[in-house]
Amino acid sequence: MGAVVTTAVLVEQVLEGKREAIAKAITLVENRGRGFENLLAALERKGGNAFVLGVTGPPGTGKSTLVDRLIERFRKRGLKVAVVAVDPTSPITGGALLGDRVRMLKHATDRGVYIRSMASRGWRGGLAGSTSEVVQILDAAGTELVIIETVGIGQSDIEIVSVAHAVLVTVTPGLGDDIQVSKAGLLEIGDIFVVNKSDLEGADFMLTALLSMVREQKRQRPVIKVSALKDEGIDKLVEAVDGFRQTLTTPRGREIKLKSLRGMIVEMAKNEVMEGLNEKLVGNLPDRLAREVYDGRLDLREAARRLSRR
Ligand SMILES: Nc1nc2c(ncn2[C@@H]2O[C@H](COP(=O)(O)OP(=O)(O)O)[C@@H](O)[C@H]2O)c(=O)[nH]1
Ligand SMILES: [Mg+2]
């Protein structure tokens, strides 16, 4: 009973777009706290105006700096913006986090901007919520632009951006040019490519390389050279983002929305399975299976199958 009442109040405040309520709702969902399912159910179909932009690319390519520029631009036009920075759990890239927060801190007093960090994967304590659910909350809160920043190094990170309506991929000059892009499937998932750090040497070379890689594929997409640091080329990028944003309201928008919904459903389903593995539900099954595999009575794959079936 208590939980239901609390949820109703929270729902109301989220729908009003209150930042504190948004934060509370996301935390509730992340922690799988009491009433989180009611909350999500109540927020279902309450949004529909959010354009979700995924921003991915190798660490250090300037994603956060660029996101900061995008916040600036879209805020100037009065759009309500939210950023979900998906923290890599990897210690290699973890150092970039503090920088992100410090950089975006200048928006901290802007009521029209909501910035949230999420851990990408956590084993104990369950998943740190799913991106889809966070997007659902932000959308219901009236956010018009949701930016999901994630490090494009692994498959799992790339999956996170599959919930986006459009994906922006960042690269920089140097760093083994063609490799950065083709590696983690970035060439396939990108809708807009950004060669950042154009103030550095080799940017034109990277631009040419990227253009020819995109040309080799069936799908033509914009490749834009910018310097997030020097604030150069950003307007052209904003134009490209706007192009996608506007498409959402055209007949072709249905296709884009379907693709995003598909990404959300797959992500949520995966999380369900992961949660199932976390719960007391599985009990000592993993230990029992390990012993069976150790004794040669079961092969690994079958053991995994049995666990996932549970
Ligand atoms: N020279 C140059 N440096 C940049 C540019 N954009 C970002 N950086 C720097 O690159 C580093 C990594 O940027 P960050 O935004 O944290 O990258 P992320 O890991 O992709 O989010 C920081 O030191 C930035 O100041 C740029 O356009 N030119
Ligand atoms: Mg970053």
pLDDT at 124: 36
pTM for the full predicted model: 0.86
Could you report the per-residue pLDDT of 94-141, keeping only the tens digit for each?
444 545 555 566 777 788 999 988 776 543 333 445 788 999 999 999
Residues 224, 192: contact at Cβ < 8 Å? yes
Q: Which band of pLDDT confidence, cut at 50, 70 and 90, is reported for residue 268? A: confident
Closest atom of ligand 1 relative to the 99 alpha carbon: 16
Ramachandran assignment for 275, one of left (phi > 0), alpha (psi -120 to 50 degrees), beta (any other): alpha
Q: Mean pLDDT in the chain?
A: 84
State percent of the chain over pLDDT 70: 82
Mutate to test the pocket of ligand 1, among 55, 65, 150 (most ligand atoms within 8 A of CB): 65
Closest atom of ligand 1 relative to the 200 alpha carbon: 1
The dihedrals phi and psi of 227, each to the nearest 5 degrees, come to -125, 105
**pLDDT average, residue stretch 190-194:** 94
Q: Judge if the beta carbon of residue 99 lies within 6 A of ligand 1.
A: yes
Residue 187: helix, strand or coil by DSSP? Answer: helix
**pLDDT average, residue stretch 202-209:** 92
For atom 17 of ligand 1, the residue with the nearest CA is 62
Q: Which band of pLDDT confidence, cut at 50, 70 and 90, is reported for residue 271? A: confident
Tell the burial category of 158 from Cβ atoms under 10 Å away from its Cβ (0-12, 13-18, 19+). Answer: buried
Which domains, from first to last, does the chain contain?
1-45 (no CATH), 47-256 (3.40.50.300), 279-309 (no CATH)
Closest CA to 260 of 11, 50, 39, 42: 50
Closest CA to 170 of 254, 227, 106, 99: 227
CA–CA dist 74, 78 (Å, integer): 7
24 pLDDT above the threshold of 60 = yes
161 pLDDT above the threshold of 80 = no
The number of beta carbons lying within 10 Å of the beta carbon of residue 287 is: 10
Residues 167, 161: contact at Cβ < 8 Å? yes
pLDDT at 96: 45
116 forms beta bridges with 84
Identify each DSSP E strand in 153-310 by its residue range. Answer: 166-171, 192-195, 223-225
Q: What is the gyration radius of the CA atoms in the chain, in angstroms?
A: 21
Residues 197, 203: contact at Cβ < 8 Å? yes
Could you report the per-residue pLDDT of 52-103, keeping only the tens digit for each?
999 998 888 999 999 999 999 999 999 999 999 886 554 444 444 545 555 5
pLDDT at 103: 57
Q: Judge if the beta carbon of residue 204 lies within 6 A of ligand 1.
A: no
Here the tokens at position 306 are 């049995």
Residue 129: helix, strand or coil by DSSP? Answer: coil
Find the helix packing angle between 234-247 and 63-76, rounded to 10°: 70
